[in-house]
């Protein structure tokens, strides 16, 4: 069986992101503990910033983290023309036979960001409470179409005036019951649930 | 490879053929009479995926993990062991048909729908949008285009 390809997208571009890279960092330990052989592809605008961060974190050997530079709007290389990422994933599979999972992190984009099914088997969209509790109500394609929606930094809700239970209920409503999971990636909270979901829905192990 | 224990899904890892092919047609017909033909229904919007976990019409837990070069399509046979066969049904999604008045209108309409990343199928002088959600969501976006392009909405089918 070829490696599952899982996309991780979400809004970004401001000083603080929604936590996509933090989610990957937190997931890597859980995945390793479960015996899931993993590699990562990061997508940045014109740098290798996220890849370097993951390599410095030391949760994966450096050569299992590959960087793609979009050079343009991040969604162009995960949806319109995902060939750069497909080629990077093919190279990882060739270099590491037996790989179970390739996580493909998009650069921070906007609420309309989605992944091409030509590139990934499953994709997650990561938002955070500090972005505002109206984000789910805006019904962006990323919110509606992702296979899994993650609401991160839920511990910040009282500090940014967000009614988190209401935000969670609205997210579940606009997604017509499709899964939504809360996390605090910085502390690792909820990350085991994300990995368990991936194991059931796409890794099958 | 396949683990039939209650907790493990039945792994479906290749397209063996198409139900419409003569060699499969007869085999499946026999199994159907024995009550040993099961179907997996997949929404049209999800048919491009290579990996899915879902149940057959008889509740059998299945995990599809196709090679990159294979694709799900209506009638694809994913499992056959002489006792049981599993065939894919792609549930046709509702469609909304648009008919532009002129070539210029067609160009504007096509550009607009492309920007919205809608899945479309082209016909003779018409374009069918494959709906992945309520039709109101699509009508709201088309509303903004009226005045810029002349086209007829022929309604969800």
**ipTM (interface pTM):** 0.84
| Per-residue pLDDT tens over the stretch B91-124 | 877 889 999 999 999 999 999 998 888 888 899 9
B9 → closest Cβ in A121, A145, A204: A204
Say whether residue A200 is in contact with chain B using an 8 A CB cutoff. Answer: yes
Q: Which of A117, A141, A204 sits opposite B49 (nearest CB)?
A: A117
The shortest C-alpha distance from A33 to chain B (Å) reads: 20
* Chain B residues within 8 A of A200 when measuring between CB atoms: 53
B9 touches chain A (CB under 8 A): yes
Q: Is B46 exposed, middle or buried (0-12, 13-18, 19+ CB in 10 A)?
A: middle
> pLDDT value at position B156?
63
Q: Using CA atoms, how far apart are residues A1 and B63, in angstroms rounded to an integer?
A: 12
Q: pLDDT exceeding 70 applies to what percent of chain B?
A: 95
- SS3 state of residue B103: helix
Chain A residues touching B68 at Cβ < 8 A = 2
Q: Do B48 and A121 touch (CB under 8 A)?
A: no
Select the more confidently predicted residue: B117 or B30.
B30
- Identify which of A117, A141, A204 has the shortest CB distance to residue B63: A204
Going from the C-alpha of A70 to that of each of A60, A80, A107, A174, the distances in angstroms are 23, 12, 8, 30
pLDDT(B88) > 80: yes
Considering only CB atoms, A2 lies closest to which of B9, B67, B117, namely: B67
- On whether any CB of chain A is under 8 Å from the CB of B71, the answer is no
- Residue A172 CA to residue A163 CA, distance in Å, equals 15
Q: Please give the pLDDT value at position A102.
A: 98
Q: Which residues of A touch B48 (CB under 8 A)?
A: 117-118
Which alpha helices (DSSP H) does B21-89 contain, by range?
22-33
Selecting from A2, A122, A141 the residue whose C-beta is nearest the C-beta of B68 gives A2
**Cβ of B7 under 8 Å from any chain A Cβ?**
no
If you compute the radius of gyration of chain B from its CA atoms, what whole number of angstroms results? Answer: 20
Q: Do A118 and B48 touch (CB under 8 A)?
A: yes
Q: What is the pLDDT of residue B157?
A: 55
**Pair A93, A83: CB distance under 8 Å:** no
Listed as ranges, residues in chain A with pLDDT below 50 are 14-15
Mean pLDDT of all residues belonging to chain B:
90
Cα gap B147→B144, rounded to integer Å: 8
Query: Residue A178 belongs to what domain range?
Result: 4-203
For chain A, the three-class secondary structure string (H helix, E strand, C coil) is: CCCEEEEEECECCCCCCCCHHHHHHHHHHHHHHCCCCEEEEEEECCCCHHHHHHHHHCCCCHHHEEEEECCCCHHHHCCCCCHHHHHHHHHHHHHCCCCCEEEEECCCECCCCCCCCCCCCEEEEEEEHHHCCCCHHHCCHHHHHCCEEEEECHHHHHHCCCCHHHHHHHHHHHCCCCCEEECECCCCECHHHHHHHHHHHHHCC
CB under 8 A, 24+ apart: contacts of A85-92: A85/A41, A85/A43, A85/A119, A86/A118, A86/A119, A88/A41, A89/A3, A89/A5, A89/A41, A89/A119, A91/A66, A92/A3, A92/A39, A92/A41, A92/A64, A92/A66
CA dihedral A112, A117, A118, A119 (to 10 degrees): 70
State pTM to two decimals. 0.86
- A162: domain CATH number is 3.40.50.300
Q: Give bridge partners of residue A127 from the DSSP assignment.
A: A151
Query: Does B47 have pLDDT greater than 90?
Result: no
A-facing residues of B in 83-112 (CB < 8 A) are none
Domain count, chain A: 1
Residue to test with chain A: of B45, B51, B118, most A Cβ within 10 A: B51
Residues of chain B in contact with residue A79, where contact means CB-CB under 8 angstroms, are: 117
Domains of chain B: residue spans and CATH: 10-91 (2.60.260.20), 95-156 (3.30.70.790)
Q: For chain B, say whether A83 makes contact (Cβ under 8 Å).
A: no
Q: What confidence score (pLDDT) does residue B1 get?
A: 39
Q: In what order do the strands lie in the sheet with A180-182?
A: A65-69, A38-44, A101-105, A4-9, A122-128, A148-152, A180-182
CB-CB under 8 Å, A121 with B50: yes
State the virtual CA torsion across A140, A144, A149, A152 in degrees, nearest 10: 20
């Amino acid at each position: 069986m070829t490696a599952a390809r899982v996309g991780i997208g979400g809004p970004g571009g401001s000083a603080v992101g929604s936590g996509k890279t933090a989610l990957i960092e937190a997931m890597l330990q859980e995945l390793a503990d479960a015996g899931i052989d993993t590699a990562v592809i990061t997508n940045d605008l014109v740098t290798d910033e996220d890849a370097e961060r993951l390599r410095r974190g030391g949760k994966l050997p450096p050569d299992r983290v590959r960087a793609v530079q979009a050079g343009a709007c991040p969604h162009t290389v995960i949806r319109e023309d995902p060939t750069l990422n497909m080629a990077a994933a093919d190279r990882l599979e060739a270099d590491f036979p037996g790989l179970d999972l390739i996580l493909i992190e998009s650069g921070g984009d906007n609420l309309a960001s989605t992944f091409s099914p030509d590139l990934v088997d499953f994709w997650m969209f990561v938002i955070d409470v500090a972005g505002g509790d109206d984000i789910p109500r805006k019904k962006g394609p990323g919110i509606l179409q992702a296979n899994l929606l993650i609401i991160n930094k839920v511990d910040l809700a009282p500090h940014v005036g967000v009614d988190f239970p209401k935000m969670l209920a609205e997210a579940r409503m606009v997604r017509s019951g499709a899964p939504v999971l809360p996390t605090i990636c910085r502390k690792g909270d909820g990350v085991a649930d994300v990995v368990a979901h991936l194991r059931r829905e796409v890794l099958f192990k | 490879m396949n683990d039939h224990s209650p907790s493990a899904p039945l792994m479906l890892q290749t397209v063996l053929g198409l139900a419409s092919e003569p060699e499969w047609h007869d085999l499946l017909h026999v199994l159907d009479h024995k009550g040993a033909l099961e179907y997996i229904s997949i929404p049209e919007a999800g048919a491009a995926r290579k990996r899915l976990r879902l149940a057959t019409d008889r509740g059998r837990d299945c995990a599809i993990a196709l090679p990159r070069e294979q694709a799900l399509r209506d009638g694809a046979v994913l499992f056959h062991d002489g006792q049981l066969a599993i065939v894919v049904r792609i549930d046709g999604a509702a469609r909304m048909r648009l008919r532009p008045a002129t070539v210029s209108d067609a160009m504007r309409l096509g550009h607009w729908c492309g920007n919205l990343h809608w899945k479309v199928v082209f016909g003779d002088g018409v374009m069918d949008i494959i709906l992945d959600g309520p039709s109101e969501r699509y009508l709201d976006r088309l509303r903004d285009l009226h005045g810029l392009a002349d086209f007829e909405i022929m309604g969800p089918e």
